[in-house]
Amino acid sequence: MIDNLKWDSKFFKRKIGELKITPEFSHKINAAIKKAKADSFKYIICKVHPHQTAFIRILESLGFYLSDIGVTLTVDIDKLLNKAVYKDSPMIKAIRVANLKDIYMLKKMIKSFFLESRFYNDPFFSKEEADKLYQTWMENSVKKKAADIVFCIPDVGFITCKKNVTNIGEIGLVGVKKDFRGKAVGTALMKEAITWFKSQDINLVSVRTQLKNIDAMNFYLKLGCYVKGYDIVFAKIL
Ligand SMILES: CC(C)(COP(=O)(O)OP(=O)(O)OC[C@H]1O[C@@H](n2cnc3c(N)ncnc32)[C@H](O)[C@@H]1OP(=O)(O)O)[C@@H](O)C(=O)NCCC(=O)NCCS
């Protein structure tokens, strides 16, 4: 009933688990929490479908709190590339593939970029841990462990691209430094990523963000992405 999230546990140096349970077995959650405590878990999450309102109330009554609302958006590559109107950024010429020498610059830049994410808002994680998580994600992306390719404009922005097993392209991290936002740099990075996915015979691209990340939501919607679904993450500190 509780899966050990091994990568998370190792990274955060505390045992982290995911409660996997369907609403009809919600009477077993209390026992599962007790067992998790006995097994030294320090934090558990439970992913919930938005329509499971009764189940959500049970989780809340057991001390779970809302940790994240994620939105998954998708875009059809041809539709996006054929879209006529784009503001073009002069920065587009500076976009290049990131290499190992860029890791230091990218890790410096990514610090405190994703302030809307779960890791910066859930009290279980410290700001330092959240920074380190995104820095590690970036490093692993450039090293091709967490992504297939990373494009960057040094000290301005970046985007990471990954082909998943079902041949859907995933944008993992996309960001533009504050001073350069609203100047079509993000759009230029997305176009570069989409063109690369197209060269890999991928037709559909998916990206997940937070519902409360208004800038990102507007950014993706303006690009022609549409909302595919959303997910809710509840959490409990043990
Ligand atoms: C999301 C982000 C990458 C957008 O990059 P950007 O370079 O500012 O985006 P663009 O200038 O290309 O904007 C394209 C469109 O997005 C929308 N948009 C971007 N920033 C916006 C903002 N602050 N408010 C409202 N809409 C915004 C607009 O519709 C804009 O088009 P317009 O300028 O013609 O109105 C950038 O805000 C960022 O780095 N945010 C922090 C990191 C992050 O949250 N990344 C996404 C997480 S998954």
Q: Whose CA is nearest to atom 4 of ligand 1?
A: 186
Q: What is the dihedral angle through the alpha carbons of 234, 208, 112, 7, rounded to the nearest 10 degrees?
A: 60
Ligand 1 centroid–CA 213 distance in Å is 10
- Res 95 pLDDT > 60: yes
Pocket of ligand 1 (CB under 6 A): 87, 113-114, 174-176, 181-187, 209, 213, 215-216, 218-219, 222
Domain ranges (residues) in the chain: 2-63, 71-229
Residue from 46, 39, 34, 51 nearest 15 by CA: 39
Ligand 1 centroid–CA 185 distance in Å is 9
The DSSP line for 89-141 is PGGGGG-EE--GGGHHHHHHHHTT--TTSHHHHSTTS-HHHHHHHHHHHHHHH
Contacts (Cβ under 8 Å, ≥6 apart) of 136? 11
Ligand 1 centroid–CA 142 distance in Å is 23
Look at residue 85 in the predicted model and tell me its pLDDT.
Answer: 55
pTM greater than 0.85: yes
- Homologous superfamily assigned to 71-229: Gcn5-related N-acetyltransferase (GNAT) (3.40.630.30)
Our CA angle for 50, 53, 55, nearest 5°, is: 105
d(CA 102, CA 175): 15
**Number of the ligand 1 atom closest to the C-alpha atom of 180:** 7
Q: Which two tokens stand for residue 7?
A: 């990568």
d(CA 102, CA 82): 32
Provide the pLDDT confidence category of residue 87 given band limits of 50, 70 and 90.
Answer: low
Neighbours of 103 (CB within 10 A): 18
Does the CA dihedral 216-219-225-227 come out positive or negative? positive
- Res 152 pLDDT > 90: yes
Q: What is the pLDDT of residues 58-79, one digit of tens each?
A: 999 999 999 999 999 999 998 8
3-class secondary structure per residue, 21-43: CCHHHHHHHHHHHHHHHHCCCCE
